[in-house]
Chains A and B, each alone.
Chain A
C-alpha cells in the first residue's frame, strides 16, 4: 500500500548568478519513509535541502509539508544533518547537544535525558563531558546526528550522512534510521554511496544538474530500468585492466570472487562475455544480476555518482 505523500518539492528553481542550480526540481516523499535523494556532487542536493529548511529562498516553486509551505512551518519540523560537519570544538558534547536542542524549544532537562539516551545508543556515553575536539571524526559525526534528531523533528534531512563512517558506525547509523522511520519520521538523505542507499531507501529520486531524472520506489525503478548488471569472474586476475575498455561497460566494482559490471543501456550481457573471451580471458563466473542502484543511476545520469564536478562549491562562488 502506498504511503500518503506529505513532503512535496514542487517545481523549485534556484539560480546563483549565471548558474542554474535547480531547474524546476520536482519530487515527493511519502510520509514515514526513508527516501534517498541521489546525485553526483554539485547536482543540487544541498541547495534543495537548504531551500526546504528556509535557509535559501527559491526563485520559483515551493516546498510543502502536509500541505503547508515549508517557510511557514516551525523550525522544529525539520532536523538537519549538514554535509559540512561541525561542532563547537571546545564545548562539551552534552552541553552543546542541550544547547542545540534548546534552540528548538526542548527544555534543558528533557534535552539532557534524550542526549544521554542517544549517546548510550551510539556507544559513546563516556564522551558526554568531553570536548568535541577530543572525539574522532566518526564520533563527532554521531554527535552531530544526535543534534539533528534530539528535538524530535517530523522530517529529517540528512546530507551525505554516511560519508567517513567505518562499517560499525555505518551499521549503527542505519539502525537509527530504521528506528526513526518506525517512529513515523520521514527521512530524506542524500548520498552518492549507492550501496548505502540501496540498503536503506524505500523510495528515491535521482537528481542531475538541478533536475529530477528519475523517482519512485526502488522496486519500480529496478523493474523499469534498461540497465544491466553482469557479474564476471576471470581466472588469475583480480581486476583486469581491460575490463573498463569494453564498450558499454560504465562501471566496474570488485566483489568476492568476481567483478560487478554496470552496463550502459542497450548493451547486452553476452557482448561483455564475448569481449572477455576475445581477450583470451579464462572466465570462471558469468551471471546476469538484478540491476544495482548504481546501474540505474548511471542509466539516468550517464556516469557513476562520484565522478561529477563539484558544482555545489561553484554555486557558493556564484552566490557572491
Chain B
C-alpha cells in the first residue's frame, strides 16, 4: 500500500493481460463452453469495455479476471503477476482488484462507512484503524458520499448506492477496477450522469478499468478501447470510432448502433480504386477491400445518419430515387424509412436519420444519397 493519495494518482493502474482464456460450465453432465479463447490486453490507466449481447461470455470473462470463477484454460496476469493459469488460481481476495457489481452488492446490514472501510479491515489489506478510517473517508469523498458516512447503506438511493459500491471498490486502491454492468439499474438520466462521473474518476485516478456492458452507447462513450464479444469470442477489439465506422463483420455492424445492410455484387473498380457494386438494381460506388474481386457477393453497410435525403437529385454518386413510407419523430432526430425504387418496382428499404426540421412528408418522393466514404463493404 505505497501508492500515493488516490486523488492525485496517475499511475495507480496495472497492465492486465488475458491470454487464451477458456471457461466451461457443466450443465446436466455436458460441458458447455462459455468463454472460448479470449485474448486481450489493457494498458495501465486505460478503460476497456467488453460489449456483447447477453450470454456472450463477457460477464464470465470479467468474473474469471476477478477470480470469482476458476478458468479452464489460458492465463490472466496483472502487472506481470500471474493470477490464473490452467492449473493455478489466485483467490479473489489476493488479486488486488476492486469490483462494482450489477446490483451493487451493498451490504444491507452495514452503514455507508462500514461498507467503504470493509476492504481496509480484512486480510487482503488490513490497515491500522486510523489509517483505514482516513482512506475510507477519502474514498467516500471521491464519490461525494462523505456526508452520508453514518447513514444505513440501504437508506441511500440507487445512484448513491452505485457510488458507494464504487467507493468500496476503490478504497483499497486496487490495480484494476472491474465493473459489471454497473449502470443498468439506473434510470436513463442518472445513467448519463454516472457515465461521465465514472469516466472522470477513472481518468483522475489513472486506474485500469475493465467494464462489461451490453449497452453500446455506454461502451462507445466511456472506453479507450472496446472488445465486442459474441458466442464466447472477441469478434473485434478497437477504439470506439473504428468499431462504429469500420465494423469487422455483420454482427459488429448490427450490434453496435443501427445499420442498413444491402446485399450487393462487386462489378469492378473505378479510377479511385473504389468498388462499383450492383445493388437496388443500380450501381453504387463504395470503398472496398482490394481482395474482394469482381463477382464477389458482399454486404454494403452504412449508418442511418449517413444517409441524406434531397428533394431534387444532386449531381453526385450513389443517389437513388425513393418513396417515404414512414416518418418517426424521436425528438432530437427524425427517423425516415424509404423504399428505394427501381423504375416502378420496390428494390429494397432503407432507414435514414436526420434533423427533424427538414424531414420529408410521409408518402413523398425523395432522392436518397449514400456518400461513398460512409459506406463499408463486408465480405459475405
The judgment on whether A and B are partners is no
